[in-house]
Structure 1
Amino acid sequence: MFAVIYRWRLRPGMEQQFTDGWHRVTAAIHTRCGSYGSRLHRADDGTWVAYARWPDEEARDRCSAPDPQGVAMMVEAIAERLPETRMRIVDDMLTEPGGAPGAAPGTGAD
C-alpha cells in the first residue's frame, strides 16, 4: 500500500472553504479513483495536514482532479502548498474506535 502526506498554510478566514473543498475532492477521489480515503488535520503550528492512503502509487498518479470545483475552492484558500511526502507502508498498527467510518473520536459516533 501507498500513502501521501499533504501540507498547506491557509489564507486567514478561508478555513471552512478549504475544508469544504477538501471534503468534495476527497469524496470524488475515493469514488472515482479508488483511494482508501484521507484524514484532514490542523497541526499545532497552524498548518493543515492530510494523510491519504492508496492501493499503490500508480493509482494515485492516474487520478486527476475528479472535482474541479472542489479543487478551485481549495486552491483559492491556500496561501502556501508545502512539499508532499510519498510513503510506502511497511507495517500498519492503526486501528479505529468502533463507530461510523470517518467519525472522529469523541463526536458521539464512536
Structure 2
Amino acid sequence: MYIVLYTFKIKENHKDDFIKAWKGLTKLIYKHEGSLGSRLHKKDALTYIAYAQWPDKTTFDNAGKNLPQEAEHFRCLMKASCEKVDIIEKLDVIEDLLK
C-alpha cells in the first residue's frame, strides 16, 4: 500500500465548504480512481490533515484521468475554501495493523 499525507490551511469561516468539498472529491476518487479511501483529521481551527490510502504508487500517480465532471465542482469549492494545500509526505506501508 501507498499513503499520501496532505495538509490543508482553510480560510476563516470556510470549514463547512471545505469539508463538503473534501468529502465529495474523496468519494469520487475512491469510486473512479482506485483509491482505498481517506481520513480527515483536525489539527487546529484552520488546519486539517488528510491521510489517503492507495493500493500502490502507480495507482496514485495515474489518478485524475477518470473523474467525472462533478469533480470540478468539488475542486473549485476546495480551492475557494483553502488558503493552501500541500502534500507533506508520500509513504510506502511496511506493516498494517489498522482495523
Q: TM-score, normalised by structure 2?
A: 0.88
Name the structure 2 match of 1:72.
76
Higher RCO, 1 or 2 (CA under 8 Å, sep at least 6)?
2
- Matched residue type, 1:64: G
What secondary structure sits across from 1:43 in the alignment? strand
1:38 matches 2:42: no
Aligned length: 95
Name the structure 2 match of 1:22.
22
Query: Displacement of 1:49 after TM fit?
Result: 0.6
Name the structure 1 match of 2:47.
47
In 2: Cα distance, 1:33 partner to 1:82 partner: 20
Query: Displacement of 1:68 after TM fit?
Result: 1.0
- Matched residue type, 2:26: T
2:98 is aligned, of 82, 94, 99, to: 94
- Matched residue type, 2:8: W
Query: Displacement of 1:2 after TM fit?
Result: 0.3
What secondary structure sits across from 2:64 in the alignment? coil
For structure 2, the 5+ residue unaligned runs are none
- Do 2:12 and 2:46's aligned partners in 1 also have CA atoms closer than 8 Å? no
In 1: Cα distance, 2:93 partner to 2:45 partner: 26
Kindly report the root-mean-square deviation, in angstroms, between the aligned alpha carbons of the 2 structures. Answer: 1.5
Higher percent of residues as helix = 2
In 1: Cα distance, 2:46 partner to 2:17 partner: 16
Percent of aligned pairs sharing the same letter: 27
In 2: Cα distance, 1:50 partner to 1:7 partner: 6
Higher percent of residues as strand = 2
What secondary structure sits across from 1:48 in the alignment? strand
Larger Rg: 1
Structure 1 residue ranges (4+ consecutive) displaced by more than 3 angstroms after TM superposition = none
